Amino acid sequence: MHDDDHDHHHHHDNRYTDMQARVRALETVLTEKGLIDPAAIDVIVETYETKVGPRNGARVVAKAWSDLEFADWLRQDATAAIASLGYAGRQGEHMRAVFNTDDTHNLVVCTLCSCYPWSVLGLPPVWYKAPAYRSRAVIDPRGVLAEFGVTLPESKKIRVWDSTAELRYLVVPERPNGTDGWSEERLADLVSRDAMIGTGLAAVPENAR
Ligand code: FE
């Protein structure tokens, strides 16, 4: 469905444009005939953007929080570690996991177009593809984070990672306090899509607030 993250490969452009045009034409015909409700399509797209896709990444993060050996593997060879859970890039792009720490926060962008770790996060949000995010994430990452409601201490460094068609990044947020002994499934519920792009943090459980 989302293919404009491969704009680096210009030989693909026509094919994807044709495909998108056909999908749009089909959607229009079906809507005009009363066979589908555009609102229903929006709900499906929204589900893939915010739930189905990012759940894969959340499982990767939860496993890294729970299993130090897996965390090491993820740090050294994210492509293989992520593939071991069944999530692989469709065009062989490589993954790199960047870990938030006490002194460093990581933020992911694609300044050139909209390269995105779709195998672990699903469809990119609209803002990720917007020129404003793509330029400002590099120039003023702290300001961008503030707009997402994330205020970090001045002492914390922000590293910005620029994705490409060949290399995509997954942010591993810091594990929140108050989650000792939690199962991976329960931990995964704390990990949002935005936390894995770096525009958010892992949710803090109520008992630790
Ligand atoms: Fe890109």
How close is the Cα of 16 to the center of ligand 1, in Å? 15
Residue 26 maps to a domain: no
pLDDT the model gives residue 141: 97
Exactly one of 84, 113, 119, 183 is catalytic; name it: 113
> The pTM is what?
0.80
Residue 45 maps to a domain: no
* Nearest alpha carbon to residue 74 among 50, 48, 52, 95: 95
Exactly one of 66, 84, 115, 119 is catalytic; name it: 115
How close is the Cα of 176 to the center of ligand 1, in Å? 31
Three-state SS at 86: coil
pLDDT tens digits along 38-70? 788 787 777 777 777 899 999 999 999 999 999
How close is the Cα of 41 to the center of ligand 1, in Å? 25
Residue 12 maps to a domain: no
How close is the Cα of 123 to the center of ligand 1, in Å? 13
CATH number at residue 182: 3.90.330.10
Q: Provide the pLDDT confidence category of residue 19 given band limits of 50, 70 and 90.
A: low
66 included as an active-site residue = no
Residue 140 maps to a domain: yes
Rama region for 161: left / alpha / beta (φ>0; ψ in -120 to 50; rest) = beta
Tokens read off for 93:
């792009």
Residue 91 maps to a domain: yes
Residue 179 maps to a domain: yes
115 included as an active-site residue = yes
- Number of domains observed in the structure of the chain: 1
Provide the domain limits for residue 78: 54-208
Between 200 and 88, the more confident residue is 200
Side-chain-side CA neighbours of residue 6 (13 Å): 18
Other C-beta atoms within 10 Å of 71: how many? Answer: 18
Does residue 114 contact residue 124 with C-beta atoms inside 8 Å?
A: yes
DSSP 50: I
pLDDT tens digits along 135-189? 999 999 999 999 999 999 999 999 999 999 899 999 999 999 999 999 999 999 9
Residue 81 maps to a domain: yes
pLDDT tens digits along 84-134? 999 987 777 899 999 999 999 999 999 999 999 998 999 899 999 999 999
Residue 193 maps to a domain: yes
